[in-house]
A and B are shown apart, each in its own frame.
Chain A
Amino acid sequence: MAELGAEEIDTQNADEEAIRVTDLRKSFGTLEVLKGVSLTAHKGDVVAIIGGSGSGKSTFLRCVNFLETPSAGQIIVGGEEIKMRPDGSPADRRQIERIRTQLGMVFQAFNLWTHRTLLENVIEVPVHVLKVPRAQAIKRAEELLDRVGLGDKADVFPSFLSGGQQQRAAIARALAVDPRVMLFDEPTSALDPELVGEVLTVIRDLAAEGRTMLLVTHEMKFAREVANHVVYLFEGRIEEQGPPAEVFGNPKSARLKQFLKTVG
């Protein structure tokens, strides 16, 4: 049975576009938060998105899976363009629901379902949305929980666990749908400092095995280490982007220089 372990991620088509966002715009009322952001990730890319608070990083990620309705722009996931109405809302509910299952999102606040155990959290979407046979989903979920170091916590409810454990479970939940692209929105920002490392270790592994991801983060050292492309957002625009060595080692824009100085 084709399971989704590290070994099987296809690196033959490394040029294949996993996601392409073109000229994405988003306004809240009169406040324009995204002023035309374009970004492409190929299969296996890790794109780190950095920027000051309020620069539009979360809004960008949330527009990608239509948790927010973009005001304009184009989003193509795995070669399939998301059909939009003129007002930016998804034109085809089934299409957006299907595409969302290909975009595994990991939230800053974990957002696990508190009335379900970790195992139930991980199998929820495969069983109910993707209609994977239950036994198969459970087997896979156990492997994933093992993998993030929570094999012995499968029957525990999230509220009884530390933030680091909850976030690792949330990553397992996102992996369970075998996402084409993973979306991380500051996955370690809500964690106590001593718990950050365990979550970063898991994400580092995913990067190493060739998972495609868009990663919003404030951990600059980490971004430099795992990303192969870094995007610096400033007030809803891409101010500078490039390979990490360039962006961090030799920033051109004065704003980026200033930003890197303040975040240390």
Chain B
Amino acid sequence: MEPLLELLGLAKSAELLSLSPPGWGGNLLRGLVNSLQIAFGAFGFGLVIGLFGAYGKLYGGVVIRDLLAIYTTVIRAVPELVLILILYYVGTDLVNKIAQAFGYGRVEISGVFAGIWVLGIVQGAYSTEVLRGAIQAIPQGQIEAARAFGMPSLMLMRRVTIPAMMSFAVPGLANLWLIATKDTALLAIVGFSELTLETRQAAASTRAYFTFFLAAGALYMMVTLFSGAAFNRIEKWARRGQPSLRGKN
């Protein structure tokens, strides 16, 4: 192994990327874990917002519908970087004001929580639209049948609406998940040590820009490939019961 790396002139890179210091590989992996943690949390938080948002848009009163229209329009109109700055500073400021009002001092807000909050709000706007479309795509008769058999509305949502909309929602949600993994990079701007920031720091300290950014790119790529495989399985499961478009095989 060693002579081969030597031969390719990669010995230096291998050393730089080694997991234990003086290598920076450990930092990169920690950054990746942070990124994934936030992406996962934000995606999940976004789904919860999206579910309420979709139901609100479809079945809510005028006020709720208007508020949701403002939410989805504004969030989708403003660049994410700007939103992150606004939500981050507004969010932390708000928490501190509330803390002070109750007589506490400044609170330290965990970067992970802040990241999930900020990206989750952004994801929620897109999720609302994805889920609204998916719910509307369900043949209404299936929902009507559940009502006709006396299903209470929460059970109807859990047993009929959500499983029936899955096949329509999964492709859009897969997109949102991938966007979430990459949007974590934007959190570097508020100083959160996710993969991109860790990479920049490693690169700047060692001047080995190419090595580190290539390594980070490979890590993002791996996340995408794994996610793709996972979502394929989920989609297959969600589409059970529907004939394949390619015909029977």
A residues with CB within 8 A of B: 65, 67, 93, 96-101, 103-105, 107, 109-117, 124-125, 128-129, 157-160, 173, 177
Measured in the bound complex, the distance between the Cα atoms of B57 and A120 in whole Å is 31
Contact pick for A111, options B145, B163, B240, CB 8 Å = B145
Contact pick for B151, options A97, A107, A114, A173, CB 8 Å = A97
Given contacts A116-B241, A159-B243, contact A97 B150 (CB under 8 A): yes
Contacts of A98 on B, CB cut-off 8 Å? 150
A65 and B145 contact, CB distance less than 8 A: no
Given contacts A109-B141, A113-B160, contact A103 B241 (CB under 8 A): no
A67 and B147 contact, CB distance less than 8 A: yes
Measured in the bound complex, the distance between the Cα atoms of B223 and A202 in whole Å is 54
CB distance from A3 to the nearest CB of B (A): 19
Q: List 23 A-B contacts (CB under 8 A).
A: A96-B150, A97-B151, A99-B150, A100-B149, A100-B150, A101-B150, A104-B149, A105-B149, A107-B141, A111-B141, A111-B142, A111-B144, A112-B145, A114-B139, A115-B167, A115-B240, A124-B159, A129-B150, A129-B151, A157-B241, A159-B243, A173-B149, A177-B149
Measured in the bound complex, the distance between the Cα atoms of B164 and A101 in whole Å is 22
CB distance from B11 to the nearest CB of A (A): 55
A100 and B147 contact, CB distance less than 8 A: yes
Measured as residues with beta carbon below 8 angstroms from the partner, the interface class of chain B is 20 to 34
A114 and B145 contact, CB distance less than 8 A: no
B241 and A105 contact, CB distance less than 8 A: no
B149 and A129 contact, CB distance less than 8 A: yes
Q: Does B152 interact with chain A (Cβ within 8 Å)? A: yes
Contacts of B164 on A, CB cut-off 8 Å? 113-115
Beta-carbon nearest neighbor of B241 in chain A: A157
CB distance from B149 to the nearest CB of A (A): 5
Contact pick for B242, options A100, A125, A159, CB 8 Å = A159
